[in-house]
Amino acid sequence: MSEKVGGRGEQPDYQSYLLRLWRVDEGENHVQASLESIHSGERRGFANLEAMLDFLRRQMAAQSDRSSDEGQGRG
């Protein structure tokens, strides 16, 4: 059975964000970012790209844990 990608809540291992990036301190190579969840509308800001990537890694790990827990309940 295939699942559509792009619908809200239709695929449990799918997340979608609107990414915004902007440069701060023109003389330096420093970038800030924000992510807005397409599903919930929640927006999070990040002081740098590393912080944003850490957040995304945690989100995907938590999503993977939830999927594993749901899979164990099926028989």
What would the pLDDT profile of 60-70 be if each residue is shown by its tens digit? 998 877 777 77
pLDDT given for residue 63 in this prediction: 81
In a domain, 45, yes or no: yes
Q: Is residue 72 part of a domain?
A: no
Count up the domains in the chain and report the number. 1
Mean pLDDT of all residues in 21-26: 88
Residue 56 lies in a domain: yes
Q: Per DSSP, which regions of the chain are E strands?
A: 17-24, 30-37, 43-46
Residue 48, domain member (yes or no):
yes
Convert the pLDDT of each residue in 32-45 to its tens digit.
Answer: 999 999 999 999 99
The model carries a pTM of 0.69
Q: Which domain holds residue 32?
A: 17-64
In this structure, is residue 73 part of a structural domain? no
- For residue 2, tell me if it sits in a domain: no
Q: Is residue 26 part of a domain?
A: yes
Query: Would you say residue 71 lies in a domain?
Result: no
